Amino acid sequence: MRAAVDGDLDALGRLWHEADALHAQLSPGFFRHPEAGRGRQRADEALRDAAESEHETILVAVDGKSAVAGACHIQIYDTPVGHTMVPQRRGHIETLIVARAQRRRGIGRALMSAATEWARGHGAHQLLLTVWAGNADAERFYAALGYRTISQVLGTDL
């Protein structure tokens, strides 16, 4: 496990494309099908943002051939000041993706473990993430790691 570097951009682009395609399949009224090259552009933007912030990183897992097998984009944020919320520093998993050919080998679990430690090291007391409706594999994966539903976002078409 290590922080992503510029040399990972092509692999990260393929991973982001895979994640974007899944989201478009799960919720086509919400997500556009990714255009060719858009995954690399998103990866480039995310890597640049992470490099400029002490509250954000992209972690990568590499296989035995030093190829990127998965990635986790995590951000730290403090609860906005308000009268109803408990002030707390939290980590948010923006994206977790393991290459389809590399799944069920412990890579996602290892990335989540590294993200948890990174978040703790940055003062977070809680780690949050979003799973889109219909992504049963992700729901089972996170449940096995001890994650539980905190809230739900509901919507309707007008």
CB 89 within 8 A of CB 75: no
Q: Binning pLDDT at 50, 70 and 90, where does residue 150 land?
A: very high
Number of CB atoms found within 10 A of residue 120's CB: 12
As a whole number of angstroms, the distance between CA 75 and CA 25 comes to: 26
- Report yes or no on 125 lying in a domain: yes
As a whole number of angstroms, the distance between CA 40 and CA 126 comes to: 30
Against a cut of 0.85, is the pTM above it? yes
CB 54 within 8 A of CB 118: no
The yes-or-no verdict on residue 85 having pLDDT over 90 is no
Which residues span the domain enclosing 57? 2-144
Environment class of 41 (CB within 10 Å of its CB; exposed 0-12, middle 13-18, buried 19+) = middle
The yes-or-no verdict on residue 36 having pLDDT over 80 is no
Q: Check residue 86 and give its pLDDT.
A: 87
The yes-or-no verdict on residue 97 having pLDDT over 90 is yes
- Report yes or no on 83 lying in a domain: yes
Phi, psi of 137, deg, nearest 5:
-60, -45
Sign of CA dihedral 22, 28, 29, 34: positive
- Report yes or no on 151 lying in a domain: no
Per the structure, the count of domains in the chain is 1
**Average pLDDT, integer, range 56-84:** 91
Q: Check residue 39 and give its pLDDT.
A: 80
Cα angle, residue 42 at apex, residues 144 and 64 outer, rounded to 5°: 55
- Report yes or no on 157 lying in a domain: no
CB 50 within 8 A of CB 4: yes
- Report yes or no on 150 lying in a domain: no
Environment class of 52 (CB within 10 Å of its CB; exposed 0-12, middle 13-18, buried 19+) = exposed
CATH number, domain with residue 20: 3.40.630.30
What would the two tokens of residue 52 be?
């400029």
- Report yes or no on 158 lying in a domain: no
- Report yes or no on 128 lying in a domain: yes
Q: Check residue 40 and give its pLDDT.
A: 82
